[in-house]
């Protein structure tokens, strides 16, 4: 009886730890700072405006551990991940040797999701992210990122402040991501096409900016923009009426809830 209890407790602790392990890709997004020679842009360690350090801090605040995957995703190296995040896959202009999504990795990731993994896909507009190959993965969940740019920032007149409102979303749907949120900032977003099992989360004028899919026991959330990097997660630049930070808290809570 004691042995069974120990085994059950071990399984529970293993599942609990897995649910709280948040892994960020550094294989498809593998940009290097030309001045320092070190990885940068949308990674946990980067505390500059283009980094993900503040989002990482939110996950840690909620009791999660964060780590980085620098290798091609496989069944083995995803085994202990609860949440896997892929951001802004490199183009040939961004990396000397970009790693493009292929069917082998797409199968490994989708099988991991099917078994209960939570996947967050944050791309970019087509000029700044490689979408064609990346759709090999996302299309398995009914999500296709398009070469259609939404929310371009309208250049302000000389001497005037930036036109943040040209990238604002205010008619937000009744979704846990936007609980208590009235206005968010999303700049230069690729549109998304949805087929079963995907459905739109945030839609404007018939164009989808965010989508989600329940896939097996797992869950996928897709946004056509890196969205919550340091520059726009709080008010380093944004005016006080934007609520990206509150939306970021909601996002973290939502993803952790989906990984039960």
| pLDDT 10s digits, 17-44 | 555 899 999 999 998 887 887 888 999 9
What is the pLDDT at residue 11? Answer: 41
- What whole-number distance in Å separates Cα of residue 77 and Cα of residue 241? 41
Strands 21-25 and 83-87, sheet pairing: parallel
Position 1 pLDDT exceeds 60 = no
Specify the pLDDT at position 237. 87
What DSSP designation does 116 have? Answer: T
| pLDDT at position 225 over 90 | yes
Structure pTM? 0.92
Supply 108's token pair.
């490994």
- How far is the C-alpha of 123 from the C-alpha of 89, rounded, in Å? 7
In 3D space, the residue among 69, 75, 88 whose CA is nearest the CA of residue 25 turns out to be 69
DSSP string over 118-134: EEEEE---TTTS--TTT
Closest by CA position to 82, among listed 107, 65, 99, 103: 65
Q: Give Cα 126 to chain centroid, integer Å.
A: 16
**Per residue in 224-245, is it b (16+ CB within 10 Å) or e — as a string?**
bbbbbbbbbbeeeebeeebbbb
Q: Largest Cα–Cα distance in the chain?
A: 76
Q: What is the pLDDT of residue 100?
A: 98
Structure tokens at 29: 């997004």
Write the burial class of residue 157 (CB in 10 Å: 0-12 exposed, 13-18 middle, 19+ buried): exposed
Which whole number is the average pLDDT over 109-123?
Answer: 98
pLDDT tens profile 183-209: 999 999 999 999 999 999 999 999 999
Q: Going from the N-terminus, what domains does the chain have, and what CATH number goes with each?
A: 21-258 (3.40.50.880)
The CA-based angle 246-247-253, given to 5 degrees, is 95
What confidence score (pLDDT) does residue 73 get?
98
- What percentage of the chain reaches a pLDDT higher than 70? 92
Check if the beta carbon of residue 231 is closer than 8 Å to that of residue 41: no
CB atoms within 10 A of CB 162: 14
**Whole-number percent of the chain with pLDDT over 90:** 81
């Amino acid at each position: 009886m004691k042995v069974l209890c120990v085994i059950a407790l071990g399984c529970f602790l293993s599942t609990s730890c897995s649910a709280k392990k948040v892994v960020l890709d550094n294989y498809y997004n593998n940009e290097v700072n030309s001045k320092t020679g070190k990885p940068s842009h949308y990674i946990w360690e980067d505390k500059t405006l283009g980094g993900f350090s503040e989002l990482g801090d939110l996950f840690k605040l909620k009791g999660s551990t964060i780590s980085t995957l620098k290798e091609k995703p496989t069944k083995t190296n995803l085994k202990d991940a609860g949440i896997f995040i892929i951001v802004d896959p490199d183009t040939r202009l961004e990396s000397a040797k970009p790693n493009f999504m292929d069917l082998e990795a797409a199968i490994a990731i989708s099988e991991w999701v099917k078994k209960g993994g939570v996947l967050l896909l944050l791309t970019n507009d087509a000029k700044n992210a490689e979408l064609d190959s990346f759709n090999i993965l996302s299309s398995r969940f009914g999500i296709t990122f398009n070469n259609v740019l939404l929310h371009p920032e309208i250049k302000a007149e000389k001497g005037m402040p930036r036109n943040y409102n040209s990238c604002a979303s205010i008619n937000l749907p009744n979704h846990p991501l936007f609980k208590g949120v009235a206005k968010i900032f999303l700049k230069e977003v690729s549109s998304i096409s949805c087929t079963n099992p995907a459905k739109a989360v945030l839609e404007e004028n018939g164009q989808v900016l965010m989508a989600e899919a329940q896939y097996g026991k797992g869950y996928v959330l897709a946004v056509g923009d890196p969205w919550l990097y340091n520059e726009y997660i709080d008010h380093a630049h944004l005016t006080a009426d934007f609520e990206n930070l509150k939306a970021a808290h909601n996002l973290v809570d939502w993803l952790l809830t989906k990984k039960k």
